């Protein structure tokens, strides 16, 4: 069985979790068992993805981060990892329900797109590069979950502003709680990104110069998130504006990465 088989299996579980979310919204039923099934489906998808990544890593004899497909798969995996860590500890209701569709879309898009092509890395293999890339991907996972939390924040804010709360109103957490979690995820992601950037700078000295599009992307991402974090902490950005900015930052991160990868090819 190839690694892609496990990625497809993961997608099946994530689709199941997304379908369950839609059903919960339509039926308007508060059944705690459904929440547990949702978490189990996401855990199953996470494990399938892990097996797929391990198999691919064994084939490549390195961390599977050699092309945009692998990077996206890894970001999705990191996103689910943070969801599994953050969700229970903060008791964020319905986080899984919002995470599942995002994960499904990203995984489905990467499996269908012709981005899984053999890629000869520009730099020779080094543990520093793997450290830099791995930490960077974890940072992206935290930013991706911040994106999900911001989407929840926007939906809840919209419902409160509408004066006619809809079916998701009771399922979603308080806007203030989502705001706090969003900031903490951004702090975590930014910390990881900074460590990854330091690793990148060290590997630059050891292995050789990084291609300029990657360096530009890394700096642009770092500056964008630094500005966002400053706005949300020191600048008192809360609520809708903060949520929109957080979502825009992640969309910028992904689109800039894919553009940069295309340029590099």
The residue (of 165 and 208) whose beta carbon lies closer to other proteins is 165
Query: Which region among 4-12, 51-59, 94-102, 168-176 touches other proteins (by CB under 8 A)?
Result: 168-176
Residues 102-161 close enough to bind other proteins by CB under 8 A:
156, 160-161
- CB 11, CB 111: distance < 8 Å: yes
Task: Please compute, for residue 106, the number of CA atoms within 13 A of its CA located in the half-sphere on the CB side.
Answer: 29
Task: Please compute, for residue 137, the number of CA atoms within 13 A of its CA located in the half-sphere on the CB side.
Answer: 23
Q: Which two tokens stand for residue 26?
A: 């339509």
Query: Which region among 75-83, 147-155, 170-178, 204-212 touches other proteins (by CB under 8 A)?
Result: 170-178
Decide: is 177 part of the binding site for other proteins (CB under 8 A).
yes
Q: Which of 251, 233, 254 is nearest to 242 (CA)?
A: 233
Q: Which two tokens stand for residue 162?
A: 């509408």
Query: Which region among 3-11, 42-50, 185-193, 233-241 touches other proteins (by CB under 8 A)?
Result: 233-241
| Closest distance of CB 60 from other proteins, Å | 44
Decide: is 263 part of the binding site for other proteins (CB under 8 A).
no
Euclidean distance between CA atoms 236 and 230, whole angstroms:
9
Please select the residue that binds other proteins; options are 187, 240, 248, 256, rule is CB under 8 A: 240
Please select the residue that binds other proteins; options are 65, 175, 229, 254, rule is CB under 8 A: 175
Q: Please give the C-alpha separations between residue 163 and each of 15, 28, 159, 169, 242, in angstroms, as whole numbers.
A: 32, 19, 7, 11, 21
Query: Which region among 64-72, 119-127, 164-172, 218-226 touches other proteins (by CB under 8 A)?
Result: 164-172
Residues 186-215 close enough to bind other proteins by CB under 8 A:
none
Decide: is 36 part of the binding site for other proteins (CB under 8 A).
no
The DSSP result for 25-68, as a single string, is HHHT---HHHHHHHHHHHHHHHHHHHHHHHHHHHHHTS-S-SSH
Q: Which residues bind other proteins (CB under 8 A)?
A: 28-32, 156, 160-161, 163-165, 169-170, 172-177, 180, 236-241
């Amino acid at each position: 069985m190839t690694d892609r088989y496990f990625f497809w299996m993961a997608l099946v579980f994530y689709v199941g979790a997304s379908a369950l979310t839609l059903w919960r919204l339509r039926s308007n039923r508060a059944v705690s068992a459904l929440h547990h099934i949702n978490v189990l489906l996401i855990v199953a998808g996470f494990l399938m993805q892990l097996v797929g990544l391990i198999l691919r890593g064994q084939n490549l004899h390195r961390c599977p981060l050699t092309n945009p497909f692998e990077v996206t798969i890894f970001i999705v995996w990191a996103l689910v990892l943070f969801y599994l860590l953050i969700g229970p500890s903060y008791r964020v209701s319905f986080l899984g329900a919002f995470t599942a569709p995002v994960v499904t879309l990203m995984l489905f898009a990467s499996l269908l797109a012709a981005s899984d092509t053999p890629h000869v890395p520009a730099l020779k293999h080094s543990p520093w590069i793997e450290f830099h890339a791995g930490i960077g991907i974890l940072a992206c996972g935290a930013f991706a979950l911040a994106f999900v939390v911001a989407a929840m924040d926007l939906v809840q804010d919209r419902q409160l502003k509408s004066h006619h709360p809809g079916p998701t109103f009771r399922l979603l957490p308080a806007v203030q709680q989502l705001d706090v979690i969003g900031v903490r995820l951004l702090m975590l992601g930014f910390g990881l990104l900074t460590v990854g950037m330091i690793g990148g700078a060290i590997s630059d000295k050891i292995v050789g110069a990084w291609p300029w599009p990657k360096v530009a992307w890394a700096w642009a991402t770092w500056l964008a998130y630094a500005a966002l974090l400053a706005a949300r902490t020191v600048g008192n950005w809360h609520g809708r504006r903060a949520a929109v900015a957080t979502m825009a930052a992640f969309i910028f991160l992904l689109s800039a990465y894919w553009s940069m990868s295309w340029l590099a090819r």
